[in-house]
Structure 1
Amino acid sequence: MALHNKNPNFLPLFFATLFVFASAEVFFEERFEDGWESRWVKSDWKKDENMAGEWNYTAGKWNGDANDKGIQTSEDYRFYAISAEFPPVNNKGKTLVFQFSVKHEQKLDCGGGYMKLLSGDIDQKKFGGETPYSIMFGPDICGYSTKKVHAILTYNGTNHLIKKEVPCETDQLTHVYTFILHPDATYSILIDNVEKQTGSLYSDWDLLPPKKIKDPEAKKPEDWDDKEYIPDPEDKKPEGYDDIPKEIPDPDAKKPEDWDDEEDGEWTPSTIPNPEYKGPWKPKKIKNSNYKGKWNAPMIDNPDFKDDPDLYVFPNLKYVGIELWQVKSGTMFDNILVADDVEYAKKLAEETWGKNKDAEKAAFEEAEKKREEEESKDDPVDSDVEEDDDSDATDGTESDSDVKSDAESEEDAHDEL
């Protein structure tokens, strides 16, 4: 009897939804629950130099769910490399979705929060900065100039950075980054399930030579007039214009009382710029009636262009990896997904980040409040301003040169291409 009160469209919609998610293929999904270490291999890269950083398994200093843990960089001035293997994936004819969440608890000044998809066979214990990859994606922050999302694609052995600017999030909260690659060679970049950039592999990366180029044989016609303005032939130079001097005697100049013409010579006043002098005369400009516009060589088909219908295809994706250099540690990764279904990725983001984001923000604000209260307790009530200034100048925890050095170290340590 109760069935009669239900929406008659509910059951078909319900089963259709189940079918959509049942048909979604998840190539790799990691929520860092119990047993995660058996699926990941920590690299020995930089270990011999004592520069390999350790990962912490934690929910972070502030979170929306203490049981929702990820892996976090834990040591400053260290290299980090870790990877996990999954069954080989060929995305030909499929949508490819690469998604993960990242949080910079350390209020990152200079460092990355990106991840990589790698193809073929690699030695995971040697995975590092020189290991070839297929896709590198995620946020990168360094100073005021670099605050963007990297999307680097490897084609024919060369890494290509996206040409469009995609700003990244810079706060200390968790954010979800999603890269979607479609079989028609279009793409989308999402942050927190909101599309931030979209376009085509053909236009937004230099993977192939351009389809059209300017005709190198084309020449501008001799009678082509590209001067928009010309001197007015009717305009005449005023009489006496060239007789106007550049400078005139200063009317306020006074001969010094002790000036002796016999000893000092004839006194002449100093000069000042003549307000009447307008510079060399030039006729005024008028619109050129013969102006044809700026000449451009015609576009022709590029003989070096050869289309690749598999431009979007990565035929043997097999690993997901994190490879970073961090001046200040504290970056956390979680909820990593490699799949072929956009809706499943959005659903995963809402089930994790979406469910916890408000509570995490509240926890962060409470932590900030406590930090500010502690700092105010530590500050002396009656301080000598001059003494504090001297102290800051000599005993500061980090000078401008230190910050610059950190940034330079970061740039030297990782070549994004």
Structure 2
Amino acid sequence: MKLSLAFASLLAVPAMVAAKTYFKETFDDKSWESRWVQSTHKEDYGKFKVSPGKFYADKKGSRGLQTSEDAKFYALTAPFDEVLDNSDKPLVVQFTVKFEQNIDCGGGYVKLLPPGTDPKTVHGETPYNIMFGPDICGSSKKTHVILNHDGKNHDNTEQFLPLSDQLTHLHRLTLNPDGTYEILNDEEKHNGTIFNHWNILPPKKIKDPKASKPEDWVDKEFIADPEDTKPSDWDDAPEYIADPDAKKPEDWDDDMDGEWEVPKIKNPDYKGEWKAKQIKNPNYKGPWVHPEIDNPEYKEDASIGKYKSAYIAFDLWQVKSGTIFDDIIVTDSVEEAEAFAKETFLKKQPKEKAEKDKLDEEERKKMEAEAAKAAKEAEEKEKEEKAKEKEEEKEEVEAQEAEEAKEEEEGHDEL
């Protein structure tokens, strides 16, 4: 009996749903070339190359997809293993970006594309479900999360600043079926609901167009005291008076300088403009609040933020190339994405930072050596120029002396 009860209770426990990964990419070998498709929509798309960059934690493990040509559009697409439908499960997109070139203007984001997309024709106007990642141009910096709904793209209204130094940083977006979301930039998290931070639907409430503030509504809280009067001697003191310490300069000449006038100073007894003291307005009703009504254009839409996605794509512009994308995962589990980050990004991060510091120190020493060399060369050149000037002055003096001696000799001959 006990065994059958135990067996029955086991059956009652809901089965655990295994996490599913729809796409994963590390660019650690040449197999990436068979997955990613270059768009032919434009003839002059920039070329991607695989590289760990100038500094890295591991030459193979740090290899990523790097933009290699300046002032170019880039368009590269790869398919998922199967279509991801996030209507009843989380959607998790995670990847790393390294702006090794110290980016001045360009995108560092990815796009998720719907089924039926032709990877060979992907371009800037190709419809997409989600665009996620950093976008930087001058002082304008933002982590975009653009959601498509009914053919229109809607960017997040919250300002999530991306990390834009030259190190590798992790970016993760999670969309949940209940409309909640989370954005992760390394360790910094932002979360909320799609309905609060995207203006996709019209507002639930609007100001009642038939209501207006009553004409007799008093919203001025304080007024001048009608019983307060200005003192009779208030304006007796002028604002400026002659400076009592000023004296006519001894060297002042009325004929030359004009009539001397005593300079003016601010009168310490001047009281300024008189204003009646303020008292509480007895008729004050407080600020008028425009009444609201239900927006007739508002309609609940449970499909917002829910998509069928089949591709991931890089579709971006870069002024200065050098951005490296790596360690991409698209899954339905945050735990799966976190585990992947531990295997890749978090394992490499400390050593990469150490290598960057080492490279910076080498660059600093190199610049100091070049500056010292340039200063020494400049000093030697200055010495040479001074020696040359001195020699030229000597030659000029000798020539002048010779000329004077010649003239003196010719004078003696004439005598």
State how far apart, in whole Å, the 2-side matches of 1:74 and 1:359 are.
24
SS at match of 1:366: helix
- Map 1:270-281; keep pairs closer than 5 Å: 271-281=264-274
1:82 partnered with 2:80: no
State how far apart, in whole Å, the 2-side matches of 1:383 and 1:186 are.
61
1:178-215 Cα deviation digits (max 9, x unpaired): 111011111100123x3521111111000000111222
Aligned-residue Cα RMSD (Å) equals 2.9
SS at match of 2:144: strand
- Map 1:5-404; keep pairs closer than 5 Å: 23-32=18-27, 33-47=29-43, 50=44, 52-68=45-61, 69-86=63-80, 87-143=82-138, 145-192=139-186, 194=187, 196-251=189-244, 252=246, 254=248, 258-259=253-254, 271-314=264-307, 316-381=308-373, 383=375
State how far apart, in whole Å, the 1-side matches of 2:78 and 2:289 are.
52
- Specify the alignment match of 1:402 in structure 2: none
SS at match of 1:380: helix
State how far apart, in whole Å, the 2-side matches of 1:328 and 1:317 are.
30
SS at match of 1:383: helix
State how far apart, in whole Å, the 2-side matches of 1:346 and 1:117 are.
20
State how far apart, in whole Å, the 2-side matches of 1:107 and 1:234 are.
68
Q: Cα distance, 1:53 vs. partner?
A: 1.5
State how far apart, in whole Å, the 2-side matches of 1:340 and 1:220 are.
52
State how far apart, in whole Å, the 1-side matches of 2:304 and 2:121 are.
29
1:19-47 Cα deviation digits (max 9, x unpaired): 86x71122222222331111101123442
For the Cα contact (< 8 Å) 2:248–2:260, is it kept in 1? no
TM-score (norm. length: structure 1): 0.78
Unaligned runs of 5+ in 2: 1-12, 380-415
Q: Cα distance, 1:380 vs. partner?
A: 3.1
Q: Cα distance 1:248–1:83, how it changes in 2: closer, same or farther (>3 A)?
A: same
For the Cα contact (< 8 Å) 1:253–1:270, is it kept in 2? no
State how far apart, in whole Å, the 2-side matches of 1:312 and 1:324 are.
22
Amino acid at match of 2:142: K
Amino acid at match of 2:205: K
State how far apart, in whole Å, the 2-side matches of 1:46 and 1:373 are.
44
TM-score (norm. length: structure 2): 0.79
State how far apart, in whole Å, the 2-side matches of 1:283 and 1:254 are.
42
For the Cα contact (< 8 Å) 2:211–2:290, is it kept in 1? yes
State how far apart, in whole Å, the 1-side matches of 2:260 and 2:366 are.
75
Q: Cα distance, 1:319 vs. partner?
A: 1.5
Aligned residues: 361
State how far apart, in whole Å, the 2-side matches of 1:212 and 1:166 are.
27
Amino acid at match of 2:227: E
State how far apart, in whole Å, the 1-side matches of 2:141 and 2:179 are.
26
Greater Rg by CA: 2
Q: Cα distance, 1:330 vs. partner?
A: 1.1
Q: Cα distance, 1:165 vs. partner?
A: 1.2
Identity within the alignment, %: 48
